[in-house]
């Protein structure tokens, strides 16, 4: 997916009908972004990502992983920890994911 489809998909999923007004532009401009007739400037991309509560990486197609701001904040908090604390938390996350996958696999 590319920026135009990500804008449209997230706008529709979050039922945001006045995106243009919220970023101080027209509905026509948003339509051009969504049709890939025009590429938004980085400042506009930042505003759109903030309003849609998604990462810029997802919006521009660098990843297909939709991360909301709360999840990004958690990851930033983990990243800011001392290396040994970071490893400890990531190992616990890995164990939890493994246990969840095993539980799901055995429940079928």
Q: Given pLDDT bands bounded at 50, 70 and 90, which one contains residue 27?
A: confident
Tokens of 108: 């079928």
Q: What is the pLDDT of residue 1?
A: 63
101: exposed, middle or buried (Cβ count in 10 Å: 0-12, 13-18, 19+): exposed
CB neighbour burial string for 62-78, b if at least 16 within 10 angstroms, e if fewer: eeeebbeeeeeeeeeee
What integer pLDDT is reported at residue 91 of this predicted model? 96
Separation of alpha carbons 22 and 97, rounded Å:
38
Per-chain mean pLDDT for the chain: 90
Helices (H), the chain: 3-13, 19-22, 27-34, 42-52, 56-59, 69-79, 83-106
**Mean of the pLDDT values across residues 22-39?**
90
Which whole number is the average pLDDT over 18-33? 90
Query: Is the overall model pTM greater than 0.75, yes or no?
Result: no
Tokens of 101: 């996958």
CB 33 within 8 A of CB 40: yes
Instruction: Name residues whose C-beta falls within 8 Å of residue 56's C-beta, 6 or more positions apart in sequence.
Output: 45, 46, 49
How do residues 77-87 score in pLDDT, each as one tens digit?
999 999 999 99
Tell me the mean pLDDT in the region 32-61.
91
């Amino acid at each position: 997916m590319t920026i135009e489809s990500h804008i449209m998909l997230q706008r529709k999923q979050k039922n945001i009908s006045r995106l243009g007004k919220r970023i101080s532009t027209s509905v026509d401009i948003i339509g051009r972004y969504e049709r890939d007739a025009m590429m938004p400037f980085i400042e506009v991309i930042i505003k759109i990502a903030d309003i849609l509560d998604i990462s810029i990486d997802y919006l521009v197609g660098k990843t297909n992983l939709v991360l909301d701001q709360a999840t990004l904040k958690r990851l930033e908090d983990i990243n800011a920890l001392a290396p040994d604390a970071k490893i400890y938390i990531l190992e616990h996350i890995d164990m939890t994911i493994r246990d969840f996958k095993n539980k799901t696999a055995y429940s079928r």
